[in-house]
Structure 1
């Protein structure tokens, strides 16, 4: 996933979390945290254009 998409997804999750906190909506808060975790997980996956991205899995 591209850097801009990751940053947008992270920002979207943080915005949802802030709104959920103001409204007191637990379901929306959990949804926001899941979205942020998904964005963090995408950061850990190697990019498709990085030929050495899988090197750590081989060693």
Structure 2
């Protein structure tokens, strides 16, 4: 939520970097993507969505 509301480019870049770190943590906790636990799938979808949204937000904020 903070990433979508932030207008400061430095804060937005920091939040983008932190979303990449949390995606890395996902693969440390859930080591196999073939795991069929619902929590694994939900977390993976959320992590990918956060990374894509944050990179898009950095591009939008950095372009101004």
TM-score category by the smaller chain? 0.5 to 0.7
Q: How many residues align?
A: 49
Instruction: Show the counterpart of 1:8.
Output: 14
Q: Shift of the alpha carbon at 1:21?
A: 0.4
**The one of 56, 61, 64 aligned to 1:41:** 56
Q: Shift of the alpha carbon at 1:2?
A: 1.8
Q: TM-score, normalised by structure 2?
A: 0.53
Give the whole-Å Cα distance in 2 for the aligned partners of 1:44 and 1:11.
13
Q: Shift of the alpha carbon at 1:34?
A: 1.3
Give the whole-Å Cα distance in 2 for the aligned partners of 1:15 and 1:34.
14
Give the whole-Å Cα distance in 2 for the aligned partners of 1:15 and 1:38.
15
- Unaligned stretches of 5+ in structure 1? 48-52, 54-59
Q: Which runs of 4+ in 1 moved over 4 A?
A: none
